Amino acid sequence: MKKPAVTLLMLAAICLVPVREPATGQTGGTVDLELVLAIDCSYSVDAREFALQVRGLAQAFQHPDVLEAIGAGPTGKIAVSVVQWSDSTSQGIVMPWTAIASGRDLQSFATQLFEIRRTVPEGGTSITAIMRYGADMLLTNQFNGRRLVIDIAADGRNNNGGNPRPMRELLAEQGITVNGLAILNEDQNLDKYFERNVVAGPGKFVIIANDYEAYAEAIRRKLIREITGPIVS
């Protein structure tokens, strides 16, 4: 798809956070999906829970169903970047935009994921800011994605950086999808909160993990669904 005509200043006007320029990829070209994977590093996530997120994500990229889903797309290629986040001023790219089109690409990406360390300081939970930051990442990279998706995993509600609803409405208008992985270890109604306030755009959805131990299986299902794309009836 053509990159949405939203500007960084438009995004910043909704979320009063200074605009940062995310790192862009080294290569471009058309891909079936541009995917931002956002890892929660807020106060509620301890070292063990962070490690479970990282390991679960890495294991998902090693699963053969993920490779099959990528290969089934029109180009057989996706682009992925990983970011950590907490409060409205704390977001950081830990894996830059990477093209994935083969089993070797997947294994290399997974190997790097296993090595990720926590680099973003603990803080509040600003889902609004990570939506805006993820949109910046999608709009400023060198890929041309048929679909643009921000994948947000969190175990708590937005409590910092403004109401997420105006941001999700803007992103939906621009054809950017926001999906959620709600980890219910502290808030049993977090999935409903995500449905009402966070997820947006074509084919949006929320997947539940009852706790961090269930995260790996949930993120694998979520990843395959995002790569495959919405079902057209």
Per-residue pLDDT reduced to its tens digit, 155-197:
999 999 999 999 999 999 999 999 999 999 999 999 999 999 9
DSSP summary character for residue 200: B
Per-residue pLDDT band at 11 (split at 50, 70, 90)? low
Q: What's the pLDDT score for residue 1?
A: 62
pLDDT at 18: 43
pLDDT grade for 101, boundaries at 50, 70 and 90: very high
Q: Of 88, 93, 135, which is closest to residue 116 (Cα–Cα)?
A: 93
What is residue 72's predicted lDDT score, i.e. its pLDDT? 96
| Cβ proximity of 60 and 173 under 8 Å | no
pLDDT tens digits, one per residue of 38-97:
999 999 999 999 999 999 999 999 999 999 999 999 999 999 999 999 999 999 999 999
Contact in structure between 216 and 59 (CB atoms under 8 Å)? yes
- Residue 8 is predicted with a pLDDT of 52
Record the pTM. 0.89
Q: Please give the structure tokens belonging to residue 223.
A: 């990843």
How far is residue 192's CA from residue 63's CA, in Å, rounded to a whole number?
29
Q: Is the pLDDT of residue 13 over 70?
A: no
Hunting for tokens 């995002």 — which residue is that? 226
* 222, burial (CB in 10 Å: exposed 0-12, middle 13-18, buried 19+): buried
CB neighbour class for 79 (10 Å; exposed up to 12, middle 13-18, buried from 19): buried
- Residue 210 structure tokens: 């009852």
- CA–CA distance, 198 with 220 (Å, rounded to integer): 20
Domains of the chain: 28-228 (3.40.50.410)
